[in-house]
Amino acid sequence: MERRHLIAALAATLPLGVISMRVGAFSKDEKQYWREVLEPDAYAILIEEGTERAGSSPLDNEKREGTFLCAACFLPLFASHHKYDSGTGWPSFYDTLPEAVETKRDFKMILPRTEYHCARCGGHQGHVFDDGPKPTGKRYCNNGLALRFVPGGEALPEARLPAAG
């Protein structure tokens, strides 16, 4: 079965809105752009959907008020008041900012998981699980290298995206 037919078949079995065709669909030019502007470890996570080692991100212990942005395009993804200590070794949040992420099913570990990406650039952030705290019950388990933290009161950087074309 061709990949696109397999994706369509899987999409038909999932709730509406679970699969985004933008997620993970980087052109050769987009990959080159991100390779030039991102550090190699961040590129491996954001563009190649890698995972950093648990406990390796200083953002797991970040407790200040502020905003967590996509490290690629700088879209605000999480408010600091949504962050909590999940004990997993990765920055974790119980909710996202409105329309900040898109999700898709991930079968890389055989059992299906829900992967989430930046809604603007498609950069891989992590996985969302149903074992988080109230009020959502969600745990957005994020790679620290996929995030940039901006303390409260500081200006957010302008969006960064490859040129259209």
We report the CATH number of the domain holding residue 142 as 2.170.150.20
Helix, strand, coil percent values for the chain (each to nearest 5): 25, 25, 55
* pLDDT at res. 24: 53
The domain of 66 spans: 3-52+61-151
Mean pLDDT, residues 45-60: 96
Does the reported pTM lie above 0.85?
no
Q: Is residue 111 part of a domain?
A: yes
- Residue 121: which residues within 8 A CB-CB, separation 6 or more? 70, 72, 73, 75, 161
Burial of 78 (0-12, 13-18, 19+ CB in 10 A): buried
The number of folded domains in the chain is: 1
Residue 73 annotated among the catalytic residues of the structure: no
Q: Is residue 161 part of a domain?
A: no
Q: Is residue 157 part of a domain?
A: no
pLDDT band at 147 (very low <50, low <70, confident <90, very high): very high
Q: Is residue 73 part of a domain?
A: yes
Q: Active site residue: 70, 73, 118, 141, which one?
A: 141
Q: Is residue 141 part of a domain?
A: yes
In tens, the pLDDT along 84-110 reads: 999 999 999 999 999 999 998 876 656
Q: Flag whether pLDDT at 5 surpasses 50.
A: no
Q: Is residue 160 part of a domain?
A: no
Q: Is residue 162 part of a domain?
A: no
pLDDT band at 25 (very low <50, low <70, confident <90, very high): confident
